[in-house]
Chain A
Amino acid sequence: MKHVVSVSLGSARRDHQTTAVILDQAVEIVRQGTDGDMERARQWIASLDGKVDVIGLGGIDRYLVVKSQRYEIRDAQKLAQAARHTPVVDGSGLKAVWEPHVIQQLVEMGLISPHQKVLLVSAMDRFGMAEAFYTMGFPTIAGDLIFASHIDYPIQSLGELEEFARKLLPDLIKMPFSMLYPTGSEQDHTVSNNAYGKYFNEADIIAGDFHFIRRYLPDQLQGKVIVTNTTTRDDRLLLEERHLQTLVTTTPFLDGRSFGTNVMEAALVAISGVRPEDNGWADVVMNAGLQWHVSRFEGAKGNASH
């Protein structure tokens, strides 16, 4: 059996161990959080090197891929380099292929429509999703500067997003990751009555990283659709309390449960032997039997995987 371990900078409260069947093969999956402790994560990765098939990096992006340019976050690079033999993946290769496909399917199924306004809370970590929204004609605001840097400037076109990425990312990737993204207990903090509520209020669709969404989540979400990644049971309760209409989780469902993208990517690499930078990676992802998931609240109760 293949064996993958996800080492996450997120909370250890979400640790789990399970066996999943992917591409007709059983894979043992272990997730271990380090509560934002970078050094503990590095040591843990070093101790796993050569002992498991693939290591996933959770709670941190290693690569930000914008157009064909790949930027490597320095702190994540240091973590990955703790493994000399075992491949280390972060889920960015899966997101790049899978998330545009999910957006396309949501449109085809009539769950979302290009006339709806989109707030994508962070786009540089999921450029594929951003590109899908912009090119399909959704009026889209990318909130990278707003939510990651607290600069009240909405990015409103794909061209501007690409320009910002070209100018900013070569330098920002050298910053301590904790300056770019909430880690550990920071992920649990929420900001009420914040200045950025207007962007949430104006959007029909709120998309992107759920840690950013939850941090600035407004009290009322009637009529809105959230398209995001992993959500916990508590997250879903929170969204229901705030009267969200529809929640779409792009994080692949398999065997009835959700896995982080780094975990799924690690499993796919372990089974297929194909890495995200290899030709054929997109085929591996699209043929893996992955599903996204939709939950409807506010009376239109029900759940479905697609």
Chain B
Amino acid sequence: MLKTLEHFAAQCNANSRLRQMNRDWTRRIAIVATDRAQSFWLTSQEGVITAGEGPAVEPDLQIQAPYDIIQAIFSGAMSPTEPYNAGDLLVKGSQDDLMRLDIITLLIWGE
């Protein structure tokens, strides 16, 4: 999973449009695989995304889902919308942040 998240972060950081979009988006995102009790995190600061393993400190956004769904979302196999609508993806935080994550994944992998 960490490799997937790091790859996601690298793709964001290599995309000048996403860096511009995220330049003012400072967030700590906690990602919890509910079926494996594993935690990961993403941070966004000045347009740069960083990934790591372990619990996030005072996260702005918490994402909880089974491991395979998280893996699918951050590898581009699935957008966050479908599992969110189905109740398989729980998000604690603002809808704007969820929407932004969705848009980021779609701009990397959409079409």
**What is the total of A-B residue contacts with beta carbons within 8 Å?**
50
Also in contact, A149 and B103, with CB within 8 A (given A168-B110, A170-B110, A179-B95): yes
Enumerate chain B residues within 8 angstroms of A151, measured Cβ to Cβ: 21, 25, 100, 103
CB closest residue in chain B, given A175? B81
User: Does A174 reach chain B (CB closer than 8 Å)?
Assistant: yes
Also in contact, A152 and B24, with CB within 8 A (given A167-B111, A168-B107, A175-B81): yes
Report whether B81 and A152 are in contact in the complex, using a CB–CB cutoff of 8 Å: no
Count chain A residues whose beta carbon lies closer than 8 angstroms to a beta carbon of B. 17
Q: Which residues on A are within 8 Å of B, measured CB to CB? A: 145, 149-153, 164, 166-168, 170-172, 174-176, 179
Q: Which residues on B are within 8 Å of A, measured CB to CB? A: 17, 20-21, 23-25, 79, 81-82, 85, 95-96, 99-100, 102-103, 106-107, 110-111
Also in contact, A167 and B99, with CB within 8 A (given A152-B21, A153-B17, A174-B81): no
By secondary structure, the A interface counts as helix
Report whether A167 and B106 are in contact in the complex, using a CB–CB cutoff of 8 Å: yes
CB closest residue in chain B, given A168? B106
**Which of A149, A152, A164, A174 lies in contact with B99, CB distance below 8 A?**
A149
Complex Cα–Cα for A171 and B98 (A): 13
Complex Cα–Cα for A234 and B96 (A): 29
**Which of B17, B81, B100, B111 lies in contact with A166, CB distance below 8 A?**
B111
The minimal Cβ–Cβ distance linking A212 to chain B, given in whole angstroms, is: 15
